[in-house]
Amino acid sequence: MILFCDTSALIKLYVQEEGSELMLEVAKEAAVVAVCRIAWVEAMFAFARRSREAPEETPLLNQVRGRFQQDWGSFATVEVNQQLVEQAGEYAEIFALRAYDSIQLAAAQTLQQGDSGKVSFACFDQRLQKAAQLLGLFPIPFDTPNQSAS
């Protein structure tokens, strides 16, 4: 199985929060963990925001950020190009998604179209999960309120 993680799901592999245990289990079962190139900046933003909001966690977050940076090369990365952003623009309109959520969805869809294997889609946004399911992706079922890393 290929596991595509949007940034909200990816962060849970590094920072303990609701959904982290399940994400760690799912990631262990995956043959490949895939991300969109934009996940880098979204993750760095999330770590920095958390550090600003909880300064006492800064030393731990610095370690987490370092581990994330080391792991980055092990992820299959979907690049952002003109075709992908045009598709994302359509998804933003069709599914009423935020811009980066639309890009994440288009990246996962691109991955699925280029591979004959099953692409599981991990995110923590109900609207994005529903859109992924409508596109034939396999959303990881998380019973959480609507949330996002950005």
Kindly list the domain boundaries of the chain, sorted by start residue.
Answer: 2-139
* Parallel, antiparallel or unpaired: strands 76-78 and 32-36: parallel
- Mean per-residue pLDDT, 133-140: 95
pLDDT for residue 104 is more than 60: yes
pLDDT bracket for residue 142 (50, 70, 90):
confident
φ, ψ for residue 86 (rounded to 5)?
-65, -40
Which pair of structure tokens corresponds to residue 92? Answer: 């933003």
Non-local (6+) Cβ contacts of 52 within 8 A are none
At the fourth CATH level, which superfamily is domain 2-139?
5'-nuclease (3.40.50.1010)
pLDDT of residue 29: 96
Q: What is the dihedral of CA 8, 123, 38, 68, to 10 degrees?
A: 50
